């Protein structure tokens, strides 16, 4: 039997079925956590956001429309909470000055060696490579890339969640894509013959 | 502006595929014939694909355990409501 979709679970949740809510939330939780984690750079803060989002959504359930897109709602709340935390910190947002400087100096590609299609990593290794690269991207481009590329929100929704103009979100997104390409190149490029 | 400069200038929209069809097609044609632009475009697409195809990233174990506790309480309250 096919598992119920998050949308179907949400309809039941709005009608008062808290077990359906628990199941829907459980499915969305990893994405929400990692989005907050990418913006805040900290597991503990991201967990607080995750729990706040769950409690706020439970409170709001009776007033939500059954057609409310739960994923969008959860990510929007998480982004809002994470932005408030960032403002409260008034500190660095995890930006790496060195990498930011590299990009400003030469925003476009430096490494134009083709990638080798034969290079492959097992799933855990690949996840680790991708994770390490993503951790080096400054916070705002990183979370925009995550929302757009991994969570598949469109650019307008992504910009809206982060209270950015679509133009600014697009600029951050391109920056993240270019930077990740540079960071991944050593793992995938064709090695020069010696 | 050379085609290479145009591709670089419109790279964001090119990757999002939001350019007018004829501009997108012209840049596609350029990228297929220009080695540096082809590498840039194919490796950018590969970068995007690698993250898109990644199996969902799980919650850290401790975060997962604490969330499960919270959700268990939600489920228990739901069951108590149903039986009362």
Residues B16 and A15: their CA atoms lie apart, in Å, by 38
**Chain-chain contact of A26 with B71 (C-beta, under 8 angstroms):** yes
- B83 by Cβ neighbours in 10 Å (0-12 / 13-18 / 19+) ranks as exposed
Interface touch A43/B63, C-beta < 8 Å: yes
In terms of Cα–Cα distance, which of A110, A114, A109, A111 is closest to A191? A114
Instruction: Return the pLDDT at A108.
Output: 56
What sign for the dihedral angle of Cα A133, A137, A139, A140? negative
Residue with tokens 């309809």: A11
Question: Which residues, listed in sequence order, are joined to residue A22 by a DSSP beta bridge?
Answer: none
What is the count of residue pairs from A and B with beta carbons less than 8 Å apart?
105
Query: Could you list the mean pLDDT of each consecutive 10-residue stretch along chain A, which spans 194 residues?
Result: 82 87 92 93 94 93 84 93 84 48 55 87 91 91 94 94 93 93 93 62
Percent above pLDDT 90 for chain B: 70
| Residue B13 to residue B32: CA distance in whole angstroms | 18
Is the per-residue pLDDT at B47 higher than 60? yes
Tokens of A55: 């409690």
Whole-angstrom Cα distance, residue A87 to residue A85? 5
**Which of B63, B66, B80 should be substituted to probe chain A, the one whose Cβ sees the most A Cβ atoms within 10 Å?**
B63
Measured in angstroms, the CA of A128 and the nearest CA of chain B are apart by: 11
Whether the model clears a pTM of 0.90, i.e. scores above it, the answer is no
Chain A residues in contact with B69 (beta carbon < 8 A): none
Does A38 contact chain B (CB < 8 Å)?
no
Do the Cβ atoms of B10 and B23 come closer than 8 Å?
yes
- Residue A78 near residue A49, CB atoms below 8 Å: yes
Interchain pair A43, B52: CB under 8 A:
no
pLDDT computed for residue A88 by the predictor: 82
Per-residue model confidence (pLDDT) at position A91: 52
């Amino acid at each position: 039997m096919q598992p119920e979709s998050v949308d179907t679970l949400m309809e039941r949740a709005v009608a008062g079925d808290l077990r359906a809510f628990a199941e829907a939330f459980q499915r969305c939780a990893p994405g929400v956590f990692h989005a907050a984690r990418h913006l805040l750079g900290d597991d503990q803060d991201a967990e607080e956001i995750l729990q706040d989002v769950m409690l706020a959504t439970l409170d709001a359930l009776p007033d939500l429309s059954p057609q409310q897109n739960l994923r969008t709602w959860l990510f929007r709340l998480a982004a809002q909470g994470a932005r408030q935390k960032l403002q409260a910190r008034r500190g660095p947002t995890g930006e790496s000055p060195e990498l930011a400087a590299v990009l400003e100096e030469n925003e476009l590609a430096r490494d134009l060696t083709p990638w080798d299609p034969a290079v492959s990593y097992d799933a855990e290794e690949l996840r680790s490579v991708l994770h390490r690269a993503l951790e080096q991207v400054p916070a705002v481009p990183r979370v925009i890339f995550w929302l757009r590329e991994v969570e598949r929100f469109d650019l307008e929704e992504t910009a809206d969640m982060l209270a950015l103009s679509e133009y600014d979100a697009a600029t951050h997104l391109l920056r993240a894509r270019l930077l990740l390409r540079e960071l991944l190149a050593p793992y995938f490029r064709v090695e020069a013959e010696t | 502006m050379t085609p290479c400069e145009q591709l670089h200038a419109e790279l964001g929209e090119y990757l999002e595929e939001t350019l007018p069809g004829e501009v997108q097609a012209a840049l596609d044609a350029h990228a297929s014939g220009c080695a540096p632009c082809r590498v840039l475009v194919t490796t950018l697409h590969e970068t995007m694909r690698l993250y898109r195809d990644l199996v969902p990233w799980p919650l850290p174990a401790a975060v997962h355990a604490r969330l499960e506790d919270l959700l268990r309480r939600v489920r228990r309250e739901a069951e108590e409501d149903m039986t009362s």
